[in-house]
Amino acid sequence: MYQSIDGFADHLEYELNSLGSCGREACWSILGGPLYAANINTSAANGIFWYRNRWLEPFIVEFDSINHAADALRAIQRNWAQTPAACFRRAALIGKKLPPISAKPKAFPWTLPQTPMGAWALLDEHTMIASARCTSPFPSGMPRFAETRHAPSRAYLKLWEALTLCRAWPGPGSVCLDAGASPGGWTWALSQLGAEVTAVDRAELEGEAASAAKRFIKHDAFTLTPGDIGSVDWLFCDAACYPGRLYRWIETWLESGLCKNFICTIKMQGVPGREGSEPDFETPRLFAAVRESRVVHLYHNKHELTWIKLAADSTQS
């Protein structure tokens, strides 16, 4: 089951429909967008990205009382996050019977707990749909970080989210490339971890990011080759560019062997169904096909996806 993203249910619909007979079977109305049930095999699921959370083992519970519903979930595991759908007051009363989940914003770096985070929603007064296993470790797929005013942009939040999902991040002395760095949100965030950042952009860095970079190169990052930069531990890119151009540039880095850890934003363009302006749904699948990598839509992403490739020996949290 796929929990859609507010504003991008049409993208998920497109991906499910593109699978033909493996596509959407049913959906339920929930806040933030529909929840889709679909019969998708594992290989096909690797090409679906536009969802907030994927419910891996959904099941239906029919219950007589609030206690009965809460007991059914507690008997399986501790952590459950509600997805608002129907009967909101009744759902709130069930939620109060479950072990609490802290809503306090987390300071980064933050190590994810190993315990699973389940999801549930009421369909009516006596019917619940739930899944103990989900793809997102965050309650309802929504991480909450303690924000800062020091970064020149809020883009650092999606970097924090990606690194938290990786359970790894650059440490002191790690050599990082931030391609398309301006105004500098990612450069600033990486410097706070002690990383040595080479920032590349045609525009200058702003605020504290200007002093955070160890080296700044005023240049179009995509016209630089891996040999121009040299070996790095991590390559980061949040540049605004067409997905195909990013993919071709990343291919040169993969072939060079000069970097093993990548986190890159795939900026989508266009509108589904608008002739001549269709989003590029194929290039993200090319990224996802890269060995030992994945493509996800982060909670802090907008009309974009994030590609992550992590080496086994990366600096761990």
Per-residue pLDDT, 274 = 64
The band of 279, judged by pLDDT with boundaries at 50, 70 and 90, is confident
Return the closest-CA partner of residue 279 out of 49, 53, 41, 52.
49
Mean pLDDT computed over 44-65: 93
Dihedral sign for Cα atoms in the order 306, 37, 53, 269: positive
Query: Which of 116, 141, 166 is where one domain is finished?
Result: 141
What is the C-alpha separation between 170 and 160, in angstroms, rounded?
11
Task: Show the tokens assigned to 18.
Answer: 């593109």
Same domain for 54 and 189, yes or no, is: no
Return the closest-CA partner of residue 121 out of 95, 141, 99, 146.
95
What is the C-alpha separation between 298 and 78, in angstroms, rounded?
25
Higher per-residue pLDDT: 245 or 271: 245
- Residue 316 pLDDT > 80: no
Q: Is residue 148, in this structure, part of any structural domain at all? A: no
How many domains, the chain?
A: 2
Q: Is residue 315, in this structure, part of any structural domain at all? A: no
Q: 4-28, pLDDT tens digit by residue?
A: 999 999 999 889 888 764 556 678 8
Mean pLDDT computed over 30-34: 80
Q: Is residue 165, in this structure, part of any structural domain at all? A: yes
Same domain for 161 and 300, yes or no, is: yes
- Residue 317 pLDDT > 50: no
**Domain limits for position 57:** 2-141
Query: Which of 82, 116, 141 is where one domain is finished?
Result: 141
- Residue 228 pLDDT > 80: yes
Q: Is residue 146, in this structure, part of any structural domain at all? A: no
Average pLDDT score over the chain: 92
Residue found by looking up tokens 């007979």 in the block: 21
Q: 106-136, pLDDT tens digit by residue?
A: 999 999 988 999 999 999 999 999 999 999 9
Q: What pTM, to 2 d.p., does this model score? A: 0.92
Q: Is residue 317, in this structure, part of any structural domain at all? A: no
What is the C-alpha separation between 12 and 30, in angstroms, rounded?
15
Phi and psi (nearest 5°) for 11? -65, -45
- Residue 309 pLDDT > 90: yes
Q: Is residue 225, in this structure, part of any structural domain at all? A: yes
Mean pLDDT computed over 208-232: 96
The band of 158, judged by pLDDT with boundaries at 50, 70 and 90, is very high
Task: Show the tokens assigned to 261.
Answer: 């850890």
